[in-house]
């Protein structure tokens, strides 16, 4: 049986063909109401499938926020499974924003749920939290490599509380340690590795202050904060500088509020995508 195509290779191809945009699928109650949909699993299903239809050929990857499906229990997970299958049928990559993190057999079970071919929730990648120690993520990192999938590890987040953990240690910070371990993981990749990083779009000069070289990581860089949280494409290009080619500009509400019309959603996403391309 041939080896699967590495996630980094597939992601680069998607970024080259559709642009460096990640669109979050975030069916918040307020957005469902604005779209005229009920705050139910069925409303979430219709919302999500509409986003998939609109983003085909415009986004490199879609990022469903797992918590917003999970709140409806099994019916919510069924909506998520259908969304993942619809994206696969449309040749769109998917990133399950689950932020899983645990140890031992529990981490292995999370890895199976999100990254194993046999799972109905299998996505092209999943977000992970490394704060039980980077090596606690090993089952997911290794399974992702074996199946041609990826993981995105929380690295430098832009929420106000993040610095109280991630910046501790100065030039030997927790964040720097995590990012160095990701760099080692991706060392043999020709371009993008299968271990990505979540780095907030509004982190400013934090990498420079902490002595972090993101470009050396070979990590796809998921950058939440574009649009509604205040960052522009040019802000990201300036902050990430030499690592900008690794960036997946990530937008959710700013694009989703253009719905429910498919054409208006697509036009908004295309506009954001084009801004990212122009800011290179």
Give the residue numbers annotated as catalytic, written as ranges.
99
Cβ-proximal residues to 94 (8 Å cutoff; 6+ apart), any chain: 61, 62, 63, 64, 84, 87, 88, 123, 124, 125
d(CA 52, CA 247): 21
- What is the distance between the terminal CA atoms of the chain, rounded to a whole angstrom? 39
Give kind and range of the element (H or E) at residue 149.
none
User: For 26, left (φ over 0), alpha (ψ -120 to 50), or beta?
Assistant: beta
d(CA 77, CA 75): 5
Contact 272, 21 (CB under 8 A): yes
């Amino acid at each position: 049986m041939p080896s699967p195509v590495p996630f980094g290779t597939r992601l680069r191809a998607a970024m080259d063909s559709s642009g460096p945009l990640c669109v979050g699928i975030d069916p918040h109650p307020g957005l469902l109401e604005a779209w005229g949909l009920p705050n139910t699993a069925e409303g979430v299903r219709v919302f999500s499938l509409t986003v998939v239809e609109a983003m085909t050929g415009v986004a490199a990857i879609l990022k469903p926020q797992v918590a917003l499906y999970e709140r409806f229990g099994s019916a919510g997970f069924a909506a998520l499974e259908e969304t993942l299958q619809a994206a696969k049928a449309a040749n769109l990559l998917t990133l399950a924003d689950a932020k899983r993190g645990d140890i031992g057999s529990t981490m292995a079970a999370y890895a199976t749920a999100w990254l194993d071919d046999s799972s109905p929730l299998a996505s092209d990648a999943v977000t992970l939290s490394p704060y039980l120690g980077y090596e606690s993520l090993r089952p997911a990192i290794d399974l992702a490599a074996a199946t041609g999938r990826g993981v995105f590890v929380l690295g430098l987040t832009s929420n106000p509380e993040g610095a109280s953990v991630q910046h501790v240690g100065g030039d030997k910070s927790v964040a720097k340690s995590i990012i160095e371990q990701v760099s080692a993981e991706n060392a043999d990749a020709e371009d993008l590795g299968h271990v990505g990083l979540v780095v907030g779009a509004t982190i400013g000069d934090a990498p420079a202050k902490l002595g972090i070289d993101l470009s050396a990581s070979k990590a796809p860089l998921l950058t939440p904060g574009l649009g509604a949280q205040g960052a522009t494409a040019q802000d990201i290009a300036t902050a990430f500088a030499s690592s900008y080619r690794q960036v997946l500009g990530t937008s959710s509400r700013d694009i989703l509020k253009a719905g429910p019309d498919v054409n208006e959603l697509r036009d908004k996403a295309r506009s954001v995508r084009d801004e990212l391309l122009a800011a290179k």
